[in-house]
Amino acid sequence: MPPDTLYRIALTCIPNIGPVQAKILLQVMEPTEIFRAKRWELEKIDGIGTIRANSIRQFNDFGIVESEIRFIEKYGIKPLFISDEDYPRRLLNCYDSPTLLYFRGDANLNASRTVSIIGTRNHTEYGKQLTEKLVTDLSELNVQIISGLAFGIDALAHKWALKQKLSTIGVLAHGLDQVYPSQHRGLAKDMIKQGGGLLTEFKSGIKPDKHNFPTRNRVVAGMCDATIVIETGVSGGSLITAELANGYNRDVFAFPGRIIDNKSGGCNELIRGNKAILLTDTEQLAQLLGWQSKDQKKPEPQKRMFLQLTENEQMILALLEEGKSLNIDEINLRSGLSSSAVAAAVLSLEMQNVIKLLPGKMFVSSL
């Protein structure tokens, strides 16, 4: 673990300091420096002020933090700080992205294609069929499946992903010392065993209290290219996740249902209110997300031979060919080029179909 892990975790424990305030602090100081700063130094930071500065200076619960470090070491849990390479990059585009995440598993949290599949806890046979068909089709596109490990559609999505040999990640509303609901302990173990995992921003000992679920849902919405609502009522919790995804400028899809079916009322309302795209099949999803469908041919290797790229374009393409998706800020940082030079090179690469823009404003190589 990084030597400042103690202070990274402690930053998430300070009263009155949430993810937004933590981001503000981290733009000015390293985690260790935050706890060593003078009160006046903290007070003068925009967005912090006297009350939050006092909360930082008065924090002394390092015993809890040390206990958490022993817990994550014992169970092989990875603490992912917001500046870490393995932190889910799609979340960085969310204003309230978690300062620290705890992950148990081996999944790539920055997979090139990932969707969240959500829905009611009390699904119908129609919802079950839609989920199984969707996940089966997504397996041909090698899409990572994210959900909340809840009863109903969530569990179906996870289970069917396992059957299709897909990586699947459960985002939890509690600490990793438990699994909720307890009936899904076996499912959670299988997800970890098969290369997926469990992800949460909550420390061990935090229970699945009601107010934690909307907090959890923002991670489900933020770490995916798109959110797909299978089946939900007009007051279902899935609507919260859909609203969050819209707020993060992510694509939201919903399967329509009969107007007399209460379990489809929420989906129909999302579509009617232009808050979700009406989804009918996976080909439509792949096309709208810019993914290569199973019927499309991959670019031929000879394509590279006919490219005439500038030095700047070659540099940016090389960054993207490392197998990672990057947003424009990361390209600016890693390339060392000016913002205007990066913008011009990226536009040229897009026009030549060498790179493409994904949901969440992430760029990847098309070669």
List, for residues 174-210, the tens digit of each pLDDT value.
999 999 999 999 999 999 999 999 999 999 999 999 9
* Range of the structural domain that residue 22 is part of: 1-72
Nearest to 153 by CA among 130, 171, 182: 130
Residues 189 and 283 in one domain: yes
State the residue for tokens 């300070």: 14
Residue 341 domain-assigned (yes or no): yes
Distance CA 134, CA 342 (A): 37
List, for residues 58-109, the tens digit of each pLDDT value.
999 999 999 999 999 999 999 999 999 999 999 998 999 999 999 999 999 9
Q: DSSP of 118-185, one letter per residue?
A: E--SS--HHHHHHHHHHHHHHHTTT-EEEE---TTHHHHHHHHHHHTT--EEEE-SS-TT--SSGGGH
pLDDT above 50 for 297: no
What pLDDT is stored for residue 301 in this prediction? 47
Task: Provide the 10 A C-beta neighbour count for residue 7.
Answer: 18
pLDDT range class, residue 290, cuts 50, 70, 90: confident
Residues 244 and 151 in one domain: yes
Distance CA 127, CA 108 (A): 28
Domain boundary among 226, 261, 289: 289
pLDDT above 70 for 294: no
List, for residues 210-245, the tens digit of each pLDDT value.
999 999 999 999 999 999 999 999 988 899 999 999
CB 325 within 8 A of CB 310: no
CATH number at residue 272: 3.40.50.450
Total number of domains constituting the chain: 3
* DSSP 8-class letter at 209: -
Residue 294 domain-assigned (yes or no): no
Domain boundary among 222, 256, 289: 289
CATH number at residue 327: 1.10.10.10
Residues 142 and 283 in one domain: yes
Phi, psi of 119 (to 5 degrees): 170, -170
End-to-end CA distance of the chain: 36
What pLDDT is stored for residue 222 in this prediction? 95
Residues 285 and 305 in one domain: no
List, for residues 49-70, the tens digit of each pLDDT value.
999 999 999 999 999 999 999 9
Q: Higher model confidence: residue 324 or residue 209?
A: 209
Domain boundary among 72, 90, 106: 72
pLDDT above 90 for 359: no
Residue 87 domain-assigned (yes or no): no
Residues 230 and 354 in one domain: no
CATH number at residue 13: 1.10.150
Q: Six-digit token pair at 107?
A: 């999944």
Residues 320 and 279 in one domain: no
